[in-house]
Amino acid sequence: MRLRLITGALLLAMLAAQPAHAEVKLAYVDVQRALNECDAGKRAKADFQGRVQALESRLQRQQGEVQSLKDEIEKKGMLMNPDQRSSLQDQYVAKAKDFDREYKDARDELQQKDHEITAKIVHDLAQIIRGLGERDGYTLVLEKGSILWGSPSIDITDQVIRSYNATHVKIGMLGVTGTTAPSAKAGAPALSDFGSAAARRSTISK
């Protein structure tokens, strides 16, 4: 809510600063939808889901091994001699620790991969949005998540998706030397922190 209030205040200030005869042209983009529906986002999501499934399968096997040892101790522990029971308990404790560590590492790995890929695609989307904004003469292009309401008629998300799909570049490479967004002006000012801010609010795992 605080972000939306700040955005609203900035918008009012910008409109007040415009000359009376100047045309104010606004648009907004649903960054999460663009991320989900662009070709790069779809490929990233499929790859991410494959990683999740592989890690889940591995963790389920490890969890099964831990549970089997626990069941064996509960069912047969009292019938074993002390050395056998102690050895089995040591195996159980070691397996349980390994499982906990693997689970944490897998969770951290997935989060890092999500953040990394999301940031690269959102960076590219920001380049596309700037290019479209400059080409079509927009005064301001907002992120949907930062506004309370906007008319569907000024939603340019589909246009952003089509333009990004048409670039056919490796993710994260738009704006790098030799790869520019459609109609982005040479020597244009650097992007704001839109890419990093939007990336924190978006994710390929949704």
pLDDT for 175-194, tens place per residue?
775 555 655 554 444 455 55
**Token couple for 181:** 């967004």
- Is residue 89 within 8 A of residue 73, CB to CB? The reply is yes
Which contiguous run of DSSP H or E holds residue 5? helix 2-17
Phi, psi (rounded to 5 degrees) for 174? -65, 135
Helices marked H in 29-171 — which ranges? Answer: 31-37, 39-76, 82-136, 157-165
Whether the predicted pLDDT of 2 surpasses 70: no
Domain range annotation of the chain: 2-6+20-201
Position 135 confidence tier, pLDDT thresholds 50, 70, 90:
very high
Residue from 62, 87, 54, 57 nearest 73 by CA: 87
What is the pLDDT at residue 187? 46
Whether the predicted pLDDT of 146 surpasses 80: yes
Map residue 155 onto helix, strand or coil: strand
What is the percent of the chain where pLDDT is above 70?
Answer: 78
Residue from 148, 202, 141, 150 nearest 1 by CA: 148
Map residue 174 onto helix, strand or coil: coil
Whether the predicted pLDDT of 143 surpasses 70: yes
Residue from 105, 14, 18, 4 nearest 62 by CA: 105
Quote the CA–CA distance of 192 and 190 in Å, as a whole number. Answer: 6
